[in-house]
Chain A
């Protein structure tokens, strides 16, 4: 499961380097995400390469979000149309902060710190 991570000032970005987040990789996604983010801060899940998300993939995103606990935020960025459609149908778009691009998500993560 290709996941990679990059560090930014106010969030860790986890990139999904695969075209599908589906039943065939959902379990691996959860494990790798937990390993990459253990003991860190807020997370932006960057999904611009993901062309397709199924209910198992969605379940795995919900699971890792819950795993972050109450004090860490997770935003989603770069959703392609088929992925956005699943988020809308399941109303998960009411749960997650969703940004068109990674830059938008990074700007939102930085905003509370602008006055510092």
Chain B
């Protein structure tokens, strides 16, 4: 039998996100067959939740971010819902990793890695804007990426 879903509501600031990630880590550590994607889950959720804090709620604290993680047979299925502003162009950024030139440090990007990592390590990423809510659904495959 699959372990129970992890359901939590996180308040919209980076401190609460950090604590929520710690709690998710503890919950996932208790499920041995998902331990291999523990780090990936931390990375993805950190990027998704901090994007909500930064862009959907524009660093306004105290708003809810609803998180539900379900242990599927092949993947951790994730749903993140917020009540902030919609994503620009009505869809998540689909970019890949920013280019790097190790020989030109001044040109190195300081951002743009978050969505690139999300796109790289998740499957079935779907964004829906519905009744003033953003809903992001995605899966993190158990066999890793």
- Interface residues in chain A, defined as those with a beta carbon under 8 Å from any beta carbon in chain B: 20, 22-24, 52, 54-56, 58-60, 62-63, 65-66, 70, 81-82, 85-86, 89-92, 94-95
Please give me the residue from chain B that is nearest to A70 by CB atom.
B105
Which of B106-114, B125-133, B135-143 lies on the face that meets chain A?
B106-114
Q: In the bound complex, how far is the Cα of B121 from the Cα of A63, in angstroms?
A: 25
Listed residue (B46, B98, B108, B114) with the most chain A CB atoms within 10 angstroms of its CB: B46
The smallest C-beta distance from A64 to any residue of chain B, in angstroms, reads: 10
**CB <8 Å contact, A85 and B18:** no
CB contact list, B35-69 vs A, under 8 A: 39-40, 42-43, 46-47, 50, 53-54
Majority secondary structure of chain A interface residues (helix, strand, loop or mixed) = helix
**CB <8 Å contact, B14 and A23:** yes
Q: In the bound complex, how far is the Cα of B21 from the Cα of A56, in angstroms?
A: 15
Please give me the residue from chain B that is nearest to A91 by CB atom.
B100
The smallest C-beta distance from B55 to any residue of chain A, in angstroms, reads: 12
**CB <8 Å contact, B42 and A52:** yes
Chain B residues, Cβ within 8 Å of A91: 97, 100
The smallest C-beta distance from A8 to any residue of chain B, in angstroms, reads: 23
Majority secondary structure of chain B interface residues (helix, strand, loop or mixed) = helix
Question: B108's contact among A60, A81, A95, by CB below 8 Å, is which?
Answer: A95
Q: In the bound complex, how far is the Cα of B54 from the Cα of A24, in angstroms?
A: 11
Check A66/B14 contact, CB under 8 A, given A54-B46, A90-B97. no
**CB <8 Å contact, B108 and A55:** no
> Can you give 26 A-B contacts (C-beta < 8 A)?
A22-B14, A22-B18, A22-B50, A23-B17, A24-B13, A24-B14, A24-B18, A52-B43, A52-B46, A54-B114, A55-B111, A59-B111, A62-B108, A63-B110, A65-B108, A66-B105, A66-B106, A70-B105, A81-B39, A85-B40, A85-B43, A89-B117, A90-B117, A91-B100, A95-B105, A95-B108
